[in-house]
Amino acid sequence: MRWSHLKRNTEPTANVADRPPGLDGLPVIGSTLSFIRNPLDFVRSIGEYGDVVRYVAFGREFVVISDPELVETVLVSRDNEFWKGEFESRLGDIVAPDGVFYAEGSDWRRQRSLLQSLFTPKRIEAYAADMVDETVRMTDGWTDGTIVNVREELSTFTLGVLTRSLFDLDLEDERADVVVRMVDALGEYVDAEMLGVRSVLPSWVPSKPERKFDRAMADLDALVESLVHEHRESEGESDDLLSLLATAEYPDGTTPSPNEVSDQLVQFLVAGHETSATALTYTCWLLANDPEMQRRLAREIETVCGDRNPRIDDLGSLTLSEAVINEAMRLYPPFPFIHRQPHESTTLGGYRIPPESTLQLPLSSVHLDDRWWRNAESFRPERWLPETEQNGNWKCDRPEYAYFPFGGGPRHCIGMRFAMTELQLSLAAMIRRIEFEPVTESLGPTWKVSLDPGPVKLRIRTRDR
Ligand code: HEM
């Protein structure tokens, strides 16, 4: 592999006509294979050579942006120059094309302002008790000494929280099966697409995962329609997202179409299910491997909650739990990459970026960059504690976008508050009841819809309460 113009390339001396430095001499197929084998290591190794570096894979040019200032430029200060891009929008064409995640321009603005009203602190408060109940239900099934695959258990848990908040359905309700089947079919479909199954079939032949997904999606559409009908008929007020969405009004007095309601809900499931499950899984695994931090956390929870379960008004006092979660998402960001594409030819960091290029913002490497993070690879929740607390000198100044697990700018995660409430409450409700001990020794995260750790087994020790 040979690198052209190897340098840290943030200096303003670059000629505007310059293309970013890139991988020369490695056949395109080589980059594609390296990316498929281990996208995180591959992209990180590219970042070693500069803050704006290009490579070619899957027949398209990617430009990796590793400088937090330039990440801010793309997501916030010059966000109107970029769109989500062809690379990511492939998934939008498959899944829920009428939803907010892949909408652009005025269509996106219209949807986003309507949905924003569903994620206010007051609304989220209404889901907090369910989040704790679901956690208690899960941990009640864990007896002392058993080994559990937390990856699987937490995936069921976050799906349970979402089916309650989105559809007002308990996972044990048989109608929730439709949601579970859709989520499974979607996972299989996306995995198959990523492995390129599609490319070996003519485009008019639906693949097996696609047929399965289409059937599951049709069932979900039917379920959404009957639930909307049921909720409209009922006298009482419902605060599940489906009911709120079905009755919400755009400024021109219209309400979202049934397809749009269903697509928005599917996108909430896709964006909010595995992301939260993997964030919690990594958090539990990191704690299992740091018994002293786990004890400190248990002490904090006991001081704040005493002998009751955590509540939403405890969150402000559970500073260490928040720090632990932030640190887990620094080391293992659930969304490891964000992509954008310029509408027109533009410049970034002094380099020319044509409209065909896909910008790749690698959270997975920026979060581990030793220019911003002392001892970047190690788990140190103390970095996130306020100065007044004993933070062991782990806190230091860094640019804002050295950490961006929920993205940034106008398209930042709409479910961020929902997710942080769920993560903090469920972590506190778990750690006051149980302690984790490590069984799975090391993790090999892979990039699926989110950063998947694979099976993570931990031994459960119940606490005497
Ligand atoms: C730990 C959990 C989560 C993480 C790390 C996460 C991360 C992200 C990130 C990085 C983006 C920005 C993507 C981009 O700019 O291209 C995003 C967008 C989004 N997220 Fe989340 N998310 C989480 C949970 C949730 C939840 C629980 C929901 C809904 C219930 C949700 C719904 C969305 C939606 C709808 C968008 C698109 C917003 C838009 O384009 O306007 N997310 N999320």
- Residue 413 CA to ligand 1 center (angstroms) comes to 4
With H, G, I as helix, E, B as strand and everything else as coil, classify residue 2.
strand
pLDDT of 195 over the 70 cut: no
Does the CB atom of residue 275 touch ligand 1 within 6 A?
A: yes
Using alpha carbons, list the distances in angstroms from residue 394 to 364, 375, 382, 384: 20, 9, 6, 8
What per-residue confidence (pLDDT) applies to 37?
A: 73
Residue 87 beta carbon below 6 angstroms from any ligand 1 atom: no
Give the whole-angstrom CA distance, residue 334 versus residue 315: 22
Separation of CA 419 and ligand 1 centre (Å): 9
Tokens 């992209």 appear where?
43
- What is the structure's pLDDT at 365? 95
Is 90 exceeded by the pLDDT of residue 437? yes
What beta strand segments (E) does 182-335 contain? none
Q: Mean pLDDT for the chain?
A: 87
Parallel, antiparallel or unpaired: strands 60-65 and 358-362: parallel
For 36-77, the pLDDT digits (tens) are: 778 888 888 888 889 999 988 878 899 999 999 999 999 999
How many C-beta atoms surround the C-beta of residue 375 within 10 A?
Answer: 10
**Are 82 and 343 spatial neighbours (Cβ–Cβ below 8 Å)?**
yes
Atom of ligand 1 nearest to the CA of 103: 40
Q: Would the CB of 272 count as within 6 Å of ligand 1?
A: yes
Amino acid identity at 183: V
**Domains along the chain with CATH numbers:** 1-94+337-403 (1.10.630.10)
What spacing in Å lies between the alpha carbon of 416 and ligand 1's midpoint? 7
Q: Which two tokens stand for residue 285?
A: 């695994």
Residue nearest to atom 17 of ligand 1 (CA): 413
**Nearest C-alpha neighbor of 118 from the set 444, 418, 333, 430:** 418
* CA–centroid distance, residue 427 to ligand 1 (Å): 20
pLDDT reported for residue 10: 45
407 within ligand 1 shell (Cβ under 6 A): yes
pLDDT in tens, 274-312: 999 999 999 999 999 999 999 999 999 999 999 999 999
Q: Is the CB of 337 under 6 A from ligand 1?
A: no
- The closest-lying atom of ligand 1 relative to the alpha carbon of residue 404 is 10
